[in-house]
Amino acid sequence: MPLPAGLSALTHRDFRVFLTGQIVSQVGTWMQRVGQAWLVLELTNSAFKLGIISALQFAPVLFISVPAGAVVDRVAKRRLLIATQSVLMLQAFALTYLVWSHRVRYWHVAVLATVYGIANAFDIPTRQAFVANMVAKRDLMNAIALNSAMFNAARLVGPAVAGLLIARYGLAQAFLLNAVSFVAVILALSAVRSEGEPHPSPGTTMLEKIQGGLGYAVTTPVIGFTLALLLTVGFFVINFNVLVPLITKHVLHAGPSTFGWLMASLGSGAIVGALSLAVVIQGRPPIALPVAAGLLVSSGTVVLATVGGVGATATLLVLVGFAQIVFQASCNSMLQVTVPDALRGRIMSLYALVFAGVTPFGSLVIGTIAERFGTPAACAFGGAGGVLSVAVLTGFWRRQGRGLEWSARRRDRTTMGEI
């Protein structure tokens, strides 16, 4: 019996295997993120130092992702993913040992966060680009939405389990389970048949490859606008790894189990958003969708500055999670559906650069504001900055008379010889 349209990507065997391994690994990753944030607060009790860890974890994406995208377009993606996942597994085992032996210090966490960031700079564009190698183009939007649903299902389960584990058994258990979870994704990648071989494209040197990707992004209006939205909303708003633990500890005066449930609330909203996209949107999403979602997640962050109860905070985080994933997935889909296969790795590296790469600066700013003026002030600043930036960008592009949808369709017909 054929699957419904909202699950059409699951008809592809490689994608099913890939998704199964990813959900196990991502649950572990979210457990480690919750544990790491709580560990830093236990070691330092400093919002600023928590922001530094988040910055170190994402800074390599800022500096490495563009050349990493050129590497992704030159090598087999499956083998590169096995390598990056192996590094992440070793990083998790190292953190487990340090916590279990009671030898962990703040600088240990900082170094391991940097290692995580370096591996992630290659892993993010590779994973994003590899999805297109496992499904037919007609199912690409659906695959992206289901991948987002998987990611956020893990965000729902991981923090909740981590909060309970940390409260009952301590931090080391969360880190250990994450390390073991990488075995599942490595086995799944080993079973995937597609190698994700590179497509031929102009340019032979790394520099020429990088220039080709940057040139395409600059001269394609829908790509430029989408990347600008990701840059600004990512900087001002998508800092919940810093905000939620601070809200838990300094506003709600609660412990790790409450932190886990608040992160799970964020994830539950994201699951609903991702599944809604999978069912409703089958082709290129309208440009109004990421704009509206960007405004909604920014406004929700402003409202976070005013809430003072666990129930109200959790409810609001469900809405924020919904808007966040609709924003991210629709931007991702806009890029993936528009870009030619030969440039996919480089454009998705720019996606990682402007979204994950700006997180270090956003996290430092939010952490600094929270430390000096309080967590509510940090929420208000970030949310207001997001609303203003989305409004300004949208107004600018409208005044320029850009036919974004038309430009994207026109770019789809461009031959590789014109890139």
DSSP secondary structure string for all residues of 1-56: -PPPGGGGGGGSHHHHHHHHHHHHHHHHHHHHHHHHHHHHHHHH--HHHHHHHHHH
Q: What is the DSSP string of 150-172?
A: HHHHHHHHHHHHHHHHHHHH-HH
Q: Are 222 and 404 in contact (CB under 8 A)?
A: yes
Quick check: is 419 in a domain?
Answer: no
**Mean per-residue pLDDT over the chain, rounded:** 83
- Domain membership of residue 73 (yes or no) is yes
pLDDT tops 90 at residue 105: yes
Q: What is the pLDDT of residues 191-249, one digit of tens each?
A: 998 888 876 555 566 677 777 778 888 778 888 899 999 999 989 998 887 899 889 98
Residue 418 lies in a domain: no
User: Over 90: is that where the pLDDT of 386 sits?
Assistant: yes
Q: Which residue range forms the structural domain that includes residue 104?
A: 5-413
How do residues 282-297 score in pLDDT, each as one tens digit?
667 788 899 999 999 9
> pLDDT grade, residue 163 (50/70/90)?
confident
Is there a contact between 357 and 235 (Cβ–Cβ < 8 Å)? no
pLDDT in tens, 246-260: 899 889 988 877 887
pLDDT at 129: 83
The DSSP annotation for 183-206 comes to HHHHHHHHH-----PPPP-S-SSH
Confidence at 61, pLDDT banded by 50, 70, 90: confident
Total domains present in the chain: 1
Q: What CATH code is carried by the domain that includes residue 364?
A: 1.20.1250.20
pTM given for the model:
0.72
Kindly state whether residue 270 falls inside one of the protein's structural domains: yes
Question: What pLDDT, in 10s, does the model give residues 336-378?
Answer: 888 887 788 888 888 878 877 677 678 778 888 998 999 999 9
